[in-house]
DNA sequence: GCCGATTTGTCCGTATGTATC
DNA sequence: CGATACATACGGACAAATCGG
């Protein structure tokens, strides 16, 4: 879960309502939405609230606003052939969003202390107590992603392989009541390793690279509690984005 | 150019000022910024304006806001080893932001009409008149990116190889006075082609993949005027992102 | 080209809710 | 509990862009 709960804020309600109307193609492509003034009346709220909902749709790439003209629908339904990446979400959440069934296998679960080498690429200080996990994610029974997770032990006490095979984020948020705030991600392309080859059933004569997403994730205490390297099969990897020119 | 002009809006001025203060490390890592109330007084504006500036810093991943506590600085200066991708920007803009010198070579410049095949992956309707370009981008005299551009001829009249070797976006914005609004991007990993191998001086026995960014770009008339496939050398590719959990 | 109506953009002030300390 | 700080929401004023007459 994490983001599919019933919102209680007006602007979120309006945002979700408009978003669904757009997805259901109640507005045709390139059509202008009702004016802010009209929406104020239909939803019975202030103009600021409407504008806040619309600005979220802009960052989603659903609409574009044009001063003096209106708000134009530019939503295009996408074909969901491969695994798409969105905001901060667990594998289970992504799988659900992509309308697929996911399964996770824990390959390795151990405790370790950050040495010089680990520190250099996880950014955890030398000497930090960590959980290290290797997990294999299946989508529709095909192994697609292999994850190397480093969790700050002091922030994630009581982690077990059992929990790791289900959903760590669920455990963090609902059992430990941690609030996950933001995640810095870097995407690169790297050479395939023997581990990749073995577990993802890949042939180095075919693709010899992986799509790699490295992320540093922070909670509301401001501590970086997770470093993860996600290695994706290149033929099933897809990252979507909408950029706005300022 | 495009985004480095002097802003005249208050919220943008405040945003840029705070951003620079953070980059200059006038606030230490994890330190709380002055409260909104304080900032209202120092900048002499309303609280809404302050909040707007701060919300931009949040999406940039510079700070995190914590209800009841304050606004925490989580900015970390990044090492700029490879070519990073930001919002919608031209190659020249990116190169400047990465403090590198760029050069562009036009490999191919032609006019063509979209057939069935082109239409399927550019989304331009069959029969559309297009400019097709192949361009090679050098960074510090190393060929790193090869671009396949399709421009809508009716929206980009008078395009020449001369302009293409300089900056097309500069031409669009300053000569044609087009307003570029947003760009839908998809990142994937694809097999290397003979063209990649030849122009980027790559060896298929080494990396046999490319980082590929495909983008559909829209202007303020709501027309998709550009489809571009950017093929990056995997060893120099880096895409950064900050995701916020909702 | 001008003018007025419409529509979005910016900015302000205020009130109330909610989380932290 | 009170003080502080951010979050939500409202209403109003004026600017800037678009469009039709």
pLDDT digits (tens, 9 = 90+) for A67-99: 999 999 999 876 544 566 666 676 777 777 777
- B74 CB neighbours in chain A (<8 A) are 182, 218, 222
Q: Do B243 and A66 touch (CB under 8 A)?
A: no
Would you state the pLDDT for residue B55? 96
Checking each nucleotide's C1' against the CA of A37, the nearest proves to be C7
Q: Do A189 and B234 touch (CB under 8 A)?
A: yes
Q: Do B218 and A188 touch (CB under 8 A)?
A: no
In tens, the pLDDT along B48-64 reads 999 999 999 999 889 99
- Gap between the Cα atoms of B153 and B159, Å rounded: 8
Give the HSE-up count for residue A136: Cα atoms under 13 Å, Cβ half-sphere: 16
Q: Does A4 touch chain B if contact means CB atoms closer than 8 Å?
A: no
Mean pLDDT of chain B: 88
**A138 pairs with which residues across the strands?**
A103, A143
Would you state the pLDDT for residue A186? 87
Contact B245, A182 (CB under 8 A): yes
Q: How confident is the model over A166-181, as a mean pLDDT?
A: 86
Predicted TM-score (pTM) of this structure: 0.85
Q: How confident is the model over A234-242, as a mean pLDDT?
A: 86
**Neighbouring residues of A178: CB distance < 8 A, sequence distance ≥ 6:** A155, A156, A172, A219, A220, A225
Of A87-91, B39-43, B197-201, minimum mean pLDDT range: A87-91
The three-state secondary structure class of B12 is: helix
Alpha-carbon distances, residue A157 vs A42, A107, A151, A165, B48 (angstroms): 49, 20, 10, 16, 40
**Protein-contacted bases of chain C (C-beta within 7 A):** 6-14, 17-21
Q: Chain B: residue nearest A191 by CA?
A: B207
Q: What percent of chain B has pLDDT over 90?
A: 55
**B73 pairs with which residues across the strands?**
B63
Q: Which of 216-245 (B) contact A at CB < 8 A?
A: 218, 220, 222, 234-235, 237-245
- C-alpha B246: how far from its chain's center? 24
Q: How confident is the model over A170-196, as a mean pLDDT?
A: 88
**A110 pairs with which residues across the strands?**
A132
Is A110 a residue whose pLDDT tops 70? yes
- CA dihedral (B188, B193, B196, B198) in degrees, to 10, reads 170
Is B17 a residue whose pLDDT tops 50? yes
Triad A122, A127, A133: Cα angle to 5°: 50
Would you state the pLDDT for residue A132? 97
Is A156 a residue whose pLDDT tops 60? yes
- C-alpha A78: how far from its chain's center? 18
> Is there contact between B181 and strand D, defined as CB under 7 Å from any strand atom?
no
Give me B106's structure tokens: 């036009």
Of A77-86, A176-185, B192-201, minimum mean pLDDT range: A77-86
Residues in chain B: 246
Q: At A106, is the pLDDT very low, low, confident or very high (cuts 50, 70, 90)?
A: very high
Mapped to the 3 state alphabet, what secondary structure does B139-184 carry? Answer: ECCEEEEEEEEEEECCCCCCCCHHHHHHCHHHHHHHHCCCCEEEEE
Q: How confident is the model over B77-100, as a mean pLDDT?
A: 66
Q: Do A184 and B242 touch (CB under 8 A)?
A: yes
| Residue A52 neighbours by CB distance under 10 Å | 17
Is B185 a residue whose pLDDT tops 90? no
Contact A211, A200 (CB under 8 A): no
Q: Do A222 and B64 touch (CB under 8 A)?
A: yes
Checking each nucleotide's C1' against the CA of B50, the nearest proves to be C11
Q: Chain A: residue nearest B224 by CA?
A: A74
- CA dihedral (B213, B219, B224, B225) in degrees, to 10, reads -80
Q: How confident is the model over A57-61, as a mean pLDDT?
A: 92
Q: Does A191 touch chain B if contact means CB atoms closer than 8 Å?
A: yes
């Amino acid at each position: 879960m994490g983001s599919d709960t019933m919102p209680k804020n007006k602007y979120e309600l309006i945002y979700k309502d408009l978003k669904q109307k757009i997805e259901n193609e109640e507005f045709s492509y390139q059509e202008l939405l009702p004016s802010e003034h009209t929406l104020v009346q239909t939803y019975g709220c202030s103009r600021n609230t409407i504008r806040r909902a619309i600005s979220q749709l802009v960052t989603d790439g659903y609409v574009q606003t044009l001063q003096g003209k209106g708000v134009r629908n530019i939503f295009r339904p996408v074909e969901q052939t491969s695994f798409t990446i969105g905001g901060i979400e667990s594998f289970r959440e992504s799988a659900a969003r992509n309308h697929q069934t996911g399964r996770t296998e824990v390959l390795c679960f151990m405790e370790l202390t950050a040495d010089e080498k680990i520190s250099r690429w996880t950014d955890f200080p030398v000497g930090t107590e960590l959980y290290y996990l290797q997990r294999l994610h299946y989508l529709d029974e095909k192994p697609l992603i292999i994850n190397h997770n480093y969790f700050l032990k002091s922030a994630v006490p009581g982690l077990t392989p059992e929990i790791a095979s289900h959903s760590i984020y669920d455990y963090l948020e609902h059992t430990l009541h941690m609030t996950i705030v933001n995640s810095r991600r870097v995407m690169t392309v790297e050479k395939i390793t023997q581990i990749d080859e073995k577990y993802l059933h890949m042939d180095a004569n075919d693709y010899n690279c992986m799509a790699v997403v490295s992320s540093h994730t922070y909670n509301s205490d401001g501590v970086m509690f997770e470093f993860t390297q996600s290695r994706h099969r290149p033929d099933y990897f897809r990252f979507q984005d909408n950029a706005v020119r300022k």
